């Protein structure tokens, strides 16, 4: 059996010689590049029909029960060791993957950056310190730290205080220039018209508290709502007087929320006026994108610095650190190999987008005029090519799946998962994936059955797309790669049972048809 990429077994192409020889008279009349394309299509069709088993009845039944047409489903189920496929259904069709696209970002990042890759945050300055006063500007430079919050900012500024600084005479410069553009959120239309909710966050190199404002909302029995920011940031007021009682349960408070809030400034004080309905006798503590991140960062820095006894009368500005600035303090995040467990189990979009941008950052020195996300897409495509995975139909946007444009075929995703299984970072990827019926986004799915506690699967959900991809162990101890997607206007409401039926079928009957897959792998010890 041949190999491709990092020693990953190549999927055999059944009757490959016969296919190409039969087609040769026709192919000789065509350009070489077109001959290759046609041959691949013919070979792929032969592989699908010759070695993939018919789709099981349980999956057909789930489609019928959901009222979804058969062409809404596309899938690929392959043994992890690269032998003949188990099921292929529209496997070469580009589909909206939802958050299963996170598997692409995390797999490629583990390979190219390594599990020990870390983000960082730095304090720098060109100014001298005299009598406890920093005689100029302080620079807060973002290095894609995925865990930078107020406690971490406190530790950084505390190091400055330990160096004897009690007053900052200049401004605080916010350096986001690790990525280009530094603020991708500016001018970008909101996704699903809900930019204030955490899942919609657009990252930058300085992700201070994920650019979220924590707000406490509380209403009395009459429906009067009170709101306050936590911590109580200086020069910031949260006004909930315009909010009205809602008939919703407290848990569904956001159903009557109105976006965006009204933000105004007077005498240096920002006023955020909340709008919409809120249930009576309800209390919620939520994190929201309510302020422009520069205005929020200024108040966060000021609150921390003042709380530890420092003084600062300047403002925050966005600017690149001067070349001659010296390092005053630095922190590093945990390795991304550990952060991935939060990223994939919770399906965290901003974290994924931050990691995706880091793929392109190393190439910016040679291409400073290019968008970092485009450079990231180049590296992903090159990784696919290096591992002999076709990229036809692959569309990359932000690497998280929270996109209307991203596309991938089930076979491309399945092949990527095969490569990951054979690679040195398979344990890091496997540990990050939700376990069926146990944790993460799979904790309430596949709770009883052969997949429970074994299958490690990434979910994906958009309004018109649901997906499920990862690794499934069958009852005979053999491991399979599964990548399945439903694209339909009713997918988010009706598609999950179809995907769960497929996962159950793989777990129960995976090895009954076709050649015997591998029974040993990086997760053979069990959950």
In a domain, 136, yes or no: yes
Judge whether 521 lies within some domain.
no
349 found inside a domain: yes
Which residue, 105, 315, 114, 98, is CA-closest to 203? 105
pLDDT tens per residue, the chain (527 residues)?
A: 333 333 333 333 323 223 233 333 333 444 443 443 343 344 344 444 435 677 889 999 999 999 999 999 999 999 998 778 889 999 999 999 999 999 999 999 999 999 999 999 999 999 999 999 999 999 999 999 999 999 999 999 999 999 999 999 999 999 999 999 999 998 877 777 788 999 999 999 999 999 999 999 999 999 999 999 999 999 999 999 999 999 999 999 999 999 889 999 999 899 999 999 999 999 999 999 999 999 999 999 999 999 999 999 999 999 999 999 999 999 999 999 999 999 999 999 999 999 999 999 999 999 988 999 999 999 999 999 999 999 999 999 999 999 999 999 999 999 999 999 999 999 999 999 999 999 999 999 999 999 999 999 999 999 999 999 999 999 999 999 999 999 999 999 999 999 999 999 999 987 554 444 444 344 333 32
- 32 domain residue, yes or no: yes
Pair (80, 141) in one structural domain = no
Nearest CA among 3, 92, 80 for reference residue 511: 80
User: Does residue 410 lie in a domain region?
Assistant: yes
- End-to-end CA, the chain: 31
Q: In this structure, are 408 and 326 located in the same domain?
A: no
Closest CA to 455 of 429, 437, 432: 437
Phi, psi of 422 (to 5 degrees): -85, -10
HSE-up of residue 417 (Cα within 13 Å, Cβ side): 31
Of the candidates 332, 358, 388, which is a domain's last residue? 332
Residue 93 and residue 35 share a domain: no
Q: 324 is in which domain, residue-wise? A: 120-332
Rg (CA), the chain: 26
Q: b/e string for 78-87 if b means 16 or more Cβ within 10 A? A: bbbbbbbbbb
SS3 assignment for 47-102: HHHHHCCCCCHHHHHHHHHHCCCHHHEEEEEEECCCCCCCEEECCCCCECCHHHHH
Cβ atoms within 10 Å, residue 323: 6
Report the alpha-carbon distance of residue 407 to residue 363 in Å, rounded: 24
Where residue 136 sits, what CATH number does that domain have? 3.50.80.20
263 and 407 in a single domain? The answer is no
Q: Beta-carbon neighbour count of residue 131 at 10 Å?
A: 8
Let me know whether 33 and 63 are in one domain.
no
**CA 442/CA 311 separation, integer angstroms:** 48
Q: How far apart are CA 427 and CA 341, in angstroms?
A: 11
Which of 314, 332, 350 marks a domain boundary?
A: 332
Residues 62 and 180 in one domain: no
Whether 23 maps to a domain, the answer reads: yes
């Amino acid at each position: 059996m041949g190999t491709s990429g990092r020693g990953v077994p190549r999927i055999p192409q059944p009757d490959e010689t016969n296919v190409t020889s039969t087609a040769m008279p026709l192919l000789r009349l065509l350009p070489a590049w077109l001959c290759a394309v046609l041959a691949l299509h013919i070979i792929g069709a032969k592989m699908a029909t010759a070695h993939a088993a018919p789709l099981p009845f349980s999956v057909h039944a789930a489609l019928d029960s959901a009222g979804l047409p058969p062409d809404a489903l596309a899938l690929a189920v392959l043994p992890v060791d690269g032998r003949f496929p188990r099921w292929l259904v529209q496997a070469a069709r580009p589909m909206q993957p939802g958050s299963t696209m996170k598997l692409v970002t995390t797999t490629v990042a583990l390979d190219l950056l390594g599990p020990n890759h870390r983000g960082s945050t730095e304090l720098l300055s060109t100014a001298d310190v005299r009598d406890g006063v920093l005689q100029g500007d302080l620079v807060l430079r973002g290095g894609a730290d995925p865990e930078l919050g107020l406690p971490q900012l406190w530790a950084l500024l505390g190091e400055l205080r330990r160096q004897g600084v009690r007053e900052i005479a200049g401004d605080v410069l916010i350096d986001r220039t690790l990525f280009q553009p530094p603020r991708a959120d500016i001018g970008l239309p909101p996704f699903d018209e809900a930019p204030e909710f955490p899942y919609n966050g657009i990252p930058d190199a300085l992700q201070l508290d994920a650019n979220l404002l924590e707000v406490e909302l509380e209403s009395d029995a009459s429906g009067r709502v009170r709101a306050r920011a936590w911590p109580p940031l200086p020069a910031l007021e949260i006004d909930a007087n315009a909010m009205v009682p809602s008939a919703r349960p407290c848990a569904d408070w956001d159903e009557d929320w109105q976006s965006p809030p009204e933000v105004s400034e007077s005498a240096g004080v920002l006023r955020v006026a909340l709008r919409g309905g809120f249930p009576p006798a309800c209390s919620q503590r939520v994190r929201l994108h309510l302020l422009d991140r520069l205005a929020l960062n200024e108040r966060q820095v000021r609150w921390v610095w003042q709380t530890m006894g420092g003084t600062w009368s300047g403002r925050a500005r966005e600017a690149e650190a001067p070349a001659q600035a010296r390092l005053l303090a630095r922190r590093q995040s945990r390795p991304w190999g550990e952060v991935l467990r939060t990223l994939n189990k919770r399906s965290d979009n901003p974290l994924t987008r931050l990691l995706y941008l880091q793929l392109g950052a190393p190439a910016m020195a040679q291409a400073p005029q290019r968008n970092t996300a485009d450079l990231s897409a180049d590296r992903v495509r090159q990784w696919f090519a290096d591992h002999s995975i076709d990229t036809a139909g692959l569309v990359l946007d932000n690497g998280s799946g929270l996109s209307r444009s991203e596309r991938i075929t089930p076979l491309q995703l399945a092949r990527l998962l095969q490569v990951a299984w054979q690679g040195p970072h398979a344990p890091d990827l496997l540990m990050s994936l939700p376990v069926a019926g146990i944790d993460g986004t799979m904790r309430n799915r596949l709770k009883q059955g052969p997949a429970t506690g074994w299958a490690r699967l990434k979910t994906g959900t958009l309004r018109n797309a649901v997906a499920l991809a990862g690794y499934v162990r069958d009852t005979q101890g053999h491991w399979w790669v599964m990548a399945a997607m439903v694209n339909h206007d009713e997918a988010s409401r009706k598609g999950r049972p179809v995907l769960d039926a497929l996962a159950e079928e793989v777990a129960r009957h995976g090895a009954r048809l076709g050649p015997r897959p591998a029974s040993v792998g990086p997760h053979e010890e069990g959950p």
